[in-house]
Every structure is written in C-alpha cells, then in structure tokens.
Amino acid sequence: MSKLTDFISSMESKTEIGYGLIRIFLGMALLIRGWMIVSNPSSIIELGVERESFLWVSLAGIAHLIGGGLLGLGFLTRLGALIQIPILFSVTFFVYAQNKLMMGGQSLELAALVLFLLFVYLIFGAGSLSVSDYYSNKKT
C-alpha cells in the first residue's frame, strides 16, 4: 500500500504529464474519427446525413484528421484546436441541441466535453509533453 501512496504522491507534482496525456488522447480520438469519415464516405449517408450536407461532413472529417493530428503531436496545438472548434460548436449547439442530457448515446455530453477541452488547449497550449515543447527546450 505504501508503494501506491508513494506513486500517487510523486505524480501530484507532475500534472503536466496528465495534461499532455489528455491532449494526446483527444487528438488521437479526433484523428480516428476523421479517418473513419474520410475512409468510408458512404457511411456518412447511412448515418442519415443528407446528400447536400455530404460536402460539409467530408470537410469536417478532413479537419478532424488535420486538427486531431496536430493536437495529438502537440505541434501547432492552438491551430489544431481552432480548426476543431467550429465543428464541435456546430455539433454541440445545432446537431445535438434538441437532445436532452442523459439520453442514450450521450452525444450532447461528449460533444460538449470535447468542445470544452478544445477551448482549454486553444487558451493554454500543448503543455510540456509535446513536439513544440521539445523543440523550444532544445534551442535553449
């Protein structure tokens, strides 16, 4: 039990690692979502997206690929978050706005959480566990 307590105590001073791991997970999840959209365009129509909206959903998939990759790497993190924010804002307030909280699928809650995290990374940047931080520390 003392080893667990020691481990937890040592991690409390390393919150930047947790911040970076959340960014990496968020970026990879968005990248995977983008890949799923781009690699199987017919699935977009099967989900009930009208043909007129197909172009916008495809562009959202590309934005998820690019923005998610940037977030995951921690390279141009603010740009990666900024690319994603209009998409998640639209999804949260227009697509899922008619859903109530605690409904099946939890789409509204998840979209709002991702939108919130994107704003956090837009404001605060990538943190220490990132490509940007690695190269900025290498110069000094």
Residue 28 is predicted with a pLDDT of 96
Assess if residue 11 is contained within a domain.
Answer: no
pLDDT for 84 equals 92
Q: Are 119 and 88 contacting, i.e. CB atoms less than 8 angstroms apart?
A: no
**pLDDT 10s digits, 38-60:** 888 676 666 555 666 667 778 88
CA gap 30, 63 in Å, rounded = 9
In a domain, 7, yes or no: no
Give the pLDDT of residue 123. 95
Encode 98-116: b = buried (16+ Cβ within 10 Å), e = exposed: eeeeeeeeeebeebbebbe
User: Residue 9 domain-assigned?
Assistant: no
Residue 45: alpha-carbon gap to chain centroid: 23
pLDDT at residue 15, rounded to an integer: 82
Task: Write the CB contacts of 41 (distance below 8 Å, at least 6 apart in sequence).
Answer: 54, 58
pLDDT value of residue 91: 79
Listed as ranges, residues in the chain with pLDDT below 50 are none
Domain tally for the chain? 1
Residue 8 counted as domain residue: no
Host domain of residue 89: 20-139
Whether the predicted model's global pTM rises above the 0.85 cut = no
pLDDT value of residue 133: 79
Residue 63 within any structural domain of the chain: yes
Q: What's the angle, vertex CA 54, arms to CA 50 and CA 59, rounded to 5?
A: 150
pLDDT value of residue 71: 94
**pLDDT score recorded for residue 101:** 57
Cβ neighbour number for residue 12 with a 10 Å cutoff:
8
Question: Which tokens hold the place of 117?
Answer: 């995290």
Residue 75 contacts residue 112 (beta carbons within 8 Å) = no
Q: What is the pLDDT of residues 96-111, one digit of tens each?
A: 666 655 555 557 788 8
